[in-house]
Amino acid sequence: MIKVIAFDLDGTLINAYPAVEESINFLMRTFGLPIVDGDVIKRTVGLGDRNLVEAFVGPGRIEQAMPIYREYHAQALLRGSSFLPGALETLKELKTQGYRMAIASNRPKRFSMIVMEHLGMAHFFERILCGDEFERGKPYPDILFQLIREMAIAKEELLYVGDMDVDVQTGKNAGVAMVAVLTGSCSREELFSNGARMILNGVSELPAFLGKNAGCALKI
């Protein structure tokens, strides 16, 4: 029986891609580099902001670039982030149904809290775990293992919801049930090829999915 639902953040519950695109291209202009297309940036999100920035400015500029990016991004999040369709209503419904909820994201803690507090969603979650709190971020399973320990549950009682191949891999590496959603940067085919077997159009379909599968063992 699923007791805890852990969510990825970007592309799963929120759309912060406009803020990321704005921040990366501010950085590119600062360094006199070519502007990057938003779709290219979107597909690079998911492995933490350091990996994101390095992908565009290169390793030689990374130490200089990170403080510039982070300072700008803290403000960009306030104007370039929003709930994905149905996400807020889904969190309310799941809370009403008695599910415990958590966040497991590679986004740094500081920026996760900025966007979550801005959108008024932090109160839904018992735990908010982020990639910079761990030596190894997703797809390593450490973040989900820590969540299982902190919330004192069996791994069979955890469902992980994410939008990227890295999320699918994280769920499989942790040995927990995983639902993928199509509101991020990966296609259905990409998610399936990485091992996703439960794929929804978005989190708004999650309450009905859980109701339909109540009492059933979800696929790992």
For 179-202, the pLDDT digits (tens) are 999 999 899 999 999 999 999 999
What is the CA 52 to chain-centroid distance, rounded?
14
Alpha-carbon torsion angle 13, 17, 19, 25, nearest 10: 160
Residue range(s) defining the domain that contains residue 66: 17-79
Is pLDDT of 133 > 80? yes
> Region 32-60: what's the mean pLDDT?
92
For helices 109-118 and 62-79, give the axis angle rounded to 10 degrees: 10
Total of domains in the chain? 2
Are residues 143 and 103 part of one domain?
yes
Are residues 158 and 72 part of one domain?
no
d(CA 73, CA 111) in angstroms, rounded, equals: 8
- Tell me, yes or no, whether 166 lies in a domain: yes
pTM for this model (two decimals):
0.92
Is pLDDT of 214 > 90? no
d(CA 192, CA 211) in angstroms, rounded, equals: 23
